[in-house]
């Protein structure tokens, strides 16, 4: 099953078509004649390894950069974007992996930041609050518009970003790695919101490295490799192996067994380590954690944003103090040493 890349004319339900998009940086081609459609009321997911060209393509579609050559057709009309504001005025918004909210401002203020509603005598806070509350209700989220963003869970903050996009009547919403820091429950909520948006005709462009998860929400799959589209297909016609094979090449064997090797002695031992939040709140971001890393071993530390991954490694490296416990390097306690001493 190898659906060909879409290089033909826009289909009837395409709200936006990219045609022969080329992007070059100093002679290096980041995009090589890319053609694809964004379908009205559907989720189009871009799959590809890091460096495949996904982010560059999204920057072009959202007006952040101008392509070296190629055309963008929006609602049947040839368009060009001078800026992200220009693209947003035409109904295209992007939600980045790192959210662009002001944490010390309210939900209402974040939604209307830079385009505040006014009366003849000043800002119309009452109308902003009414519209913000209506947006939250429309997204079926019980979030008070006067709540500070910093007091919201990450999943709720993402809903605020979506509400901000909808407040400018966005018809195309680009979501870059939207679930990278969400819990499983928050992912379910986000997917429910996405399905509701598409049922109203909003088109979603979705980028994710979580392939199996993305397949749950995708209507159309577009695979990029080395700046070119290698395949497109409807989601109902593909599976995980199809995506991976088109991402990395035909010789990839999804069923290859792992090759193991023997590990050496314990090189780093983290014993009962605790780390307190440096803001002064007294909150333990790492709580009595123990871990051994052996010579020749690769240890991956997983967790959501705020789970304590960074703080743990900073404490082991000596950048922040440990509230308890110790770190041993080849049996030697290095907890009291400076960063330079630990490196040496």
Domain 14-248 is found in CATH 3.40.50.300: yes
Q: What is the pLDDT of residues 98-116, one digit of tens each?
A: 788 999 999 999 999 988 8
Residue 173 has pLDDT above 90, yes or no: yes
Same fold, 14-248 and 266-343: yes
Q: What is the pLDDT of residues 44-68, one digit of tens each?
A: 999 999 889 999 999 999 999 999 9
Residue 76 has pLDDT above 70, yes or no: yes
**Main-chain phi, psi angles of 52, to 5 degrees:** -75, -20
- Residue spans per domain, the chain: 14-248, 266-343
pLDDT band (50, 70, 90) for residue 11: very low
Tell me which residue of 248, 72, 96, 283 sits closest to 178, measured CA to CA.
96
Calpha distance 123→67 (Å, rounded): 38
pLDDT band (50, 70, 90) for residue 6: very low
> Which one has a higher pLDDT value, 277 or 340?
340
Residue ranges with strand state E in 167-218 = 172-176, 203-207
Calpha distance 16→172 (Å, rounded): 9
Burial bucket for residue 32 (CB in 10 Å: 0-12, 13-18, 19+): middle
> Which one has a higher pLDDT value, 90 or 154?
90
> Which one has a higher pLDDT value, 184 or 71?
71
Distances (CA, A) of 226 to 28, 29, 233, 239, 249: 11, 9, 19, 21, 11
Q: Report helix, strand or coil for 61.
A: helix
* The pLDDT value given to residue 78: 94
Average pLDDT taken over every residue of the chain: 86
* The pLDDT value given to residue 57: 93
Residue 304 has pLDDT above 80, yes or no: no
Angle of the 184-199 helix axis to the 154-166 helix axis, nearest 10: 10
* The pLDDT value given to residue 8: 38
Q: What is the pLDDT of residues 253-292, one digit of tens each?
A: 656 666 677 888 899 999 999 988 766 667 788 889 899 9
* The pLDDT value given to residue 342: 85
User: Please, which residues have CB within 8 angstroms of residue 169's CB and are 6 or more apart in sequence?
Assistant: 91
User: Please, which residues have CB within 8 angstroms of residue 33's CB and are 6 or more apart in sequence?
Assistant: 20, 21, 22, 70, 228
Residue 172 has pLDDT above 90, yes or no: yes
* The pLDDT value given to residue 35: 95
* The pLDDT value given to residue 279: 60
Q: Which CATH superfamily is domain 266-343 in?
A: P-loop containing nucleotide triphosphate hydrolases (3.40.50.300)
- Please give the average per-residue pLDDT across 178-184, as a whole number: 79
> Which one has a higher pLDDT value, 236 or 99?
236
């Amino acid at each position: 099953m190898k659906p060909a890349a879409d290089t033909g004319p826009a289909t009837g339900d395409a709200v936006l078509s990219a045609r022969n998009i080329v992007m070059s940086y100093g002679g290096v081609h980041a995009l090589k004649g890319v053609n694809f459609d964004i379908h009205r009321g559907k989720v189009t997911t871009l799959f590809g390894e890091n460096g495949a060209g996904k982010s560059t393509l999204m920057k072009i579609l959202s007006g952040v950069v101008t392509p070296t050559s190629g055309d963008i057709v929006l609602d049947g009309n040839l368009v060009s974007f001078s800026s992200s504001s220009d693209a947003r005025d035409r109904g295209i918004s992007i939600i980045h992996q790192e959210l662009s909210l002001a944490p010390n401002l309210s939900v209402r203020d974040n939604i209307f930041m830079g385009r505040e509603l006014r009366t003849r005598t000043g800002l119309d806070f009452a109308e902003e609050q009414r519209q913000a509350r209506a947006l939250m209700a429309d997204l079926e989220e019980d979030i008070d518009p006067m709540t500070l963003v910093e007091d919201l869970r990450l999943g709720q903050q993402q809903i605020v970003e979506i509400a901000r996009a909808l407040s400018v009547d966005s018809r195309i919403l680009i979501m870059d790695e939207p679930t990278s820091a969400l819990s499983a429950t928050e992912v379910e909520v986000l997917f429910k919101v996405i399905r509701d948006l598409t049922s109203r005709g909003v088109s979603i462009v979705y980028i994710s490295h979580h392939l199996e998860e993305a397949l749950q929400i995708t209507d159309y799959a577009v695979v990029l490799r080395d700046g070119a589209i290698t395949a497109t297909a409807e989601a109902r016609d593909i599976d995980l192996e199809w995506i991976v094979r088109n991402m990395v090449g035909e010789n990839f064997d999804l069923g290859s067994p792992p090759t193991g090797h023997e590990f050496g002695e314990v090189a780093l031992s983290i014993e009962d380590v605790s780390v307190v939040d440096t803001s002064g709140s007294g909150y333990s971001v790492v709580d009595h954690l123990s871990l051994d890393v052996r010579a020749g071993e690769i240890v991956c530390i997983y967790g959501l944003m705020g789970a304590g991954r960074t703080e743990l490694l900073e404490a082991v490296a000596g950048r922040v103090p440990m509230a308890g416990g110790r770190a041993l390097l080849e049996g030697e306690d290095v907890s009291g040493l400076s960063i330079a001493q630990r490196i040496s």
